[in-house]
Amino acid sequence: MRIYKNGWFGKFAARERIDDATLCAAIRQIEQGLIDADLGSGVLKQRIARARAGKSGGYRTVIFFRRGERAIFVFAFAKNDRANLDAEEIATFKRAAKILLALPQARMDIEVEAGRLTEVSCDGKNL
């Protein structure tokens, strides 16, 4: 399992002090079947906690996910900033997930080299 974050999410995570260990923990939960919301077409919504706080007041992340292969963190929001995603946003995420999850690994490596994606390190290795 390889985990990535896009540029937007990387900036959000840095600003909100969300570290790679937190992202890895979220993916481990998903791998164990603890999914907060499956929006379909490889798009999941998973809660992550704020530093020194619980999940209920934390962040909602949007992840493109293919079990055993890859997870890509693409969007997040604080629950107190907005209630949820709207139908148009979900449809857009589904279209994007279809494309990104179908890319061969060689293309994913190119995206990392170009700086459009960053690979998340879990304890110095991939999950």
CA 20 to chain centre: 11
Each residue's pLDDT tens digit, 65-115 = 999 999 999 999 988 788 789 999 999 999 999 999 999 999 999 999 999
Each residue's pLDDT tens digit, 10-36 = 999 999 999 999 999 999 999 999 999
Pairwise CA distance, residues 118 & 110, whole Å: 11
Delimit the domains of the chain by residue range. Answer: 2-119
Tokens 């857009």 -> residue: 92
